[in-house]
Amino acid sequence: MSTLRRWIPNQHGAWAMLVVPVLAGVLTGSPTWLQLPLLLAWLLGYCAVFHIEQWVRLRHASRNPRAAARHLRPALVLAGATAALGLPLLIAAPWLGVAAALMAPFLAVNVVFARRNRERALVNGLAAVVPACGMLLVALRLGGGATADGLAPAAACLLYFAGTVPYVKTMIRERNSAAYRRGSVAYHAVALVAATLLDPWLAVPFAVYLARAAVLPGRGIRVPVVGAVEVGCSLLLLGFLVGVYG
């Protein structure tokens, strides 16, 4: 169990961002068995990348090669497992190679920030959001859906998950920053307008997101509660996406 804990990334807030867009792509299209290994490969790939970034960070930014070495084995094993699941998918759907290539620049940004020991930077967080939301399009197309049909729900995912980056900072690391709070509220106000333009029904969850960004910071809410609220917000988004676009 202790080994499992060391291999699974401790970035608990990332899991909803990883899973919800994929599920939205599955549930707004036609589910197929190929989407299951896609999700597993995506999650394993995330775990592999996490350990690669930690290896890079500890070797270069922290200059601690012994600590970095602990991440090498998980990185290699998880990358191998990702390849074992991904290669058959690539054979079945060669266009997945193009999707992976489009995600690569965002991965490169994350690795660069890890090397500089700036993983918590706002830009780095936003760079991670883009490919995660793009997985909605991948899952939808793998189920036989049209990419064009996934653009609006993928945009809604991007609006929500991009907003979680500054919002969570206002709850934890930047909880004393008035500038961050104003920026977060301003972003969520714009996101509400943009989501409403995508579909009027989306105004409901995005109004909730704006309210939580305006009301909750500064109230001393514990980190587990912050995480639970975000899980609920993510499920709310998934429900509306399925209801509107499914």
Q: What is the pLDDT of residues 201-234, one digit of tens each?
A: 999 999 999 999 999 999 999 999 999 999 999 9
Question: Is a pLDDT exceeding 80 seen at residue 3?
Answer: no
pLDDT above 70 coverage of the chain, percent: 98
Rounded to 5 degrees, φ, ψ at 215 are -100, -40
CA pair distance 150, 241, nearest whole angstrom: 10
CA pair distance 209, 143, nearest whole angstrom: 30
* Span of 2-16, 136-150, 181-195 with lowest mean pLDDT: 2-16
Encoding tokens for residue 32? 């197929």
CA pair distance 62, 233, nearest whole angstrom: 35
Name the nearest CA neighbour of 106 among 124, 86, 88, 91: 124
CA pair distance 81, 75, nearest whole angstrom: 10
Residue with the bigger pLDDT between 55 and 64: it is 55
* Span of 5-14, 42-51, 73-82 with lowest mean pLDDT: 5-14
CB atoms within 10 A of CB 163: 23
Name the nearest CA neighbour of 58 among 42, 46, 41, 75: 75
How does pLDDT run across 115-160, given as a tens digit for each residue? 998 988 999 999 999 999 999 999 999 999 999 999 999 999 999 9
Residue 66: per-residue pLDDT: 82
Residues 6+ apart with CB under 8 A from 145: 25, 28, 29, 30
Buried b (16+ CB within 10 A) or exposed e, 223-246: eeebbebbeebbebbbebbeebbe
**Are 156 and 237 contacting, i.e. CB atoms less than 8 angstroms apart?**
yes
CA pair distance 35, 39, nearest whole angstrom: 6
Band the pLDDT of 1: cuts 50, 70, 90.
very low
How does pLDDT run across 68-122, given as a tens digit for each residue? 889 999 999 999 999 999 999 999 999 999 999 999 999 999 999 999 989 889 9
- Please give the single-letter amino acid code of residue 216: L
Encoding tokens for residue 192? 């509400």
- Mind giving me the DSSP string for 171-209? HTTTTT-HHHHHHHHHHHHHHHHHHHHH-GGGHHHHHHH
Q: What average pLDDT is seen over the chain? A: 93
Band the pLDDT of 4: cuts 50, 70, 90.
low
